[in-house]
Amino acid sequence: MTLDDDLIHALREDPTTAPVTPAERVMIDYVIQLTKDSTKCTPAHLEQLRAVGYDDTGILQITLIASWFNYINRVADALGVGRGPA
């Protein structure tokens, strides 16, 4: 979580070039893959997360939080939450 408006803007513009730490980069890459196609998440992704310091609990937390946001956003999109009247 951050309140850094410049970082938020950079992440929205292009998360692959945002100024983040190596551990955050690996986490972001994993979350992007999880969001785009979770069936293509492999043991290599988990090993990359471990290599930059995330333990199994951290990996589970990252996965659960990203998955929950993906889920709730899809529910909101399907129900038209945030859209104006039809």
Share the mean pLDDT of the chain.
93
Q: Which amino acid is at 70?
A: N
Residue 1 pLDDT > 80 = no
* Domain residue ranges of the chain, discontinuous segments joined by +: 22-79
> By mean pLDDT, which of 29-33, 41-45, 79-83 is the weakest?
79-83
> Which residue did the predictor score with more confidence, 1 or 12?
12
Q: How does residue 3 score in pLDDT terms, banded at 50, 70 and 90? A: confident
